[in-house]
Amino acid sequence: MKRISLIFIAIASFAFDAAAQTPQQKLTSLFDKNSREILVAAHRGDWRNEPENSLKGLQNCIQKGIDIVELDLKMTKDSVLVVMHDNTIDRTTNAKGKVSDYTFEQIKTFRLKNGLGRVTNNPIPTFVEMMEAAKDKVIINVDKGNPYLPQVFKVLSQTNTTNQAIVNVYDNMPYDQLVVKNNLPKDAYLMVVVGMKNDDALAIISSYKANKRAIIQPIFDQDTYPAIGEIYKISQSQVIWLNSLWPSLNGGHDDDTAVEDNKKEESWGWLIKHNPKILQTDRPTELMEYLKAQKRHK
């Protein structure tokens, strides 16, 4: 009886440790070839329940145990990085105009709208505020930071969050050229976004083998491109991130197919067969439940 109790305690302890992984540990585990776990990335935070790209949305994701929160960056007139997807603030706030036309003092007086278009009390957060709130709690994926890469890495360094952030890069060039062009830190987690219909897609992907922390994000509006057949092979030596957001990013194997049409195997199941370590979704709760049922998420 005592032996059974000890075994139970050991199993429970292991389960607790797995659930309590830090974001830094989760990032490291992506590169473990023996791990079958797929991490879930919430696109623009918990935007179905809170304003997109908001601190409240970030906090909701942390409470729900979501692995990664994706956010987008823009820069104000006085060079402050704020979290905003569009070039203008028309769609998501109670004001209008380009982010770059306002100072930060002006920007912080505006309020974000929720998914129904109603104005909330949520201000537009700065990148610094988001990283401080995320520190040691959740992985952050930085999108649309390409024009500001030096400033992005300066903030990550200042907030001591470089080791829990994945930074997207879009320059259609080999890895070594990208590093020289932007003077990037060599220990950064970079994710190259690659259009799989491009003739040089596989060459660009291969060049990122030089970065042991690189992540590959293939995007494709059709699932018939020859390079699509190489994704599984690529996954044997590099970490793959796939999107289930909308059809033009995944050849029609998207969230709506999974949830609205209730065809999860044709959507998420199809993506999983290509061996990603990360799936980005607008349905993080549903995707986590699906992955747990497939024993691909803890």
What does the pLDDT look like over 54-90, one tens digit per residue? 999 999 999 999 999 999 999 999 999 999 999 999 9
What b/e sequence results for 243-267 when a residue is b if at least 16 CB atoms lie within 10 Å of its CB, and e otherwise? bbbebebbbbbbbbbbbeeeebeeb
Per the structure, how many domains does the chain have?
1
Q: Which residues pair with 166 in a beta bridge?
A: 141, 189
Residues 183 and 157 sit within 8 Å (Cβ to Cβ): no
Enumerate the active-site residues: 43, 85
Q: What is the CATH number of the domain that holds 227?
A: 3.20.20.190
pLDDT tens digits along 192-221: 999 999 999 999 999 999 999 999 999 999
Asked whether residue 1 is assigned to any structural domain, the reply reads no
The DSSP letter of residue 137 is T
Asked whether residue 264 is assigned to any structural domain, the reply reads yes
Residues 175 and 210 sit within 8 Å (Cβ to Cβ): yes
State which residues form the domain around 188: 23-294
Asked whether residue 17 is assigned to any structural domain, the reply reads no
Asked whether residue 16 is assigned to any structural domain, the reply reads no
Asked whether residue 2 is assigned to any structural domain, the reply reads no
pTM, entire model: 0.93
Burial class (CB within 10 angstroms; exposed 0-12, middle 13-18, buried 19+) of 269: middle
Asked whether residue 3 is assigned to any structural domain, the reply reads no
Average pLDDT, the chain: 93
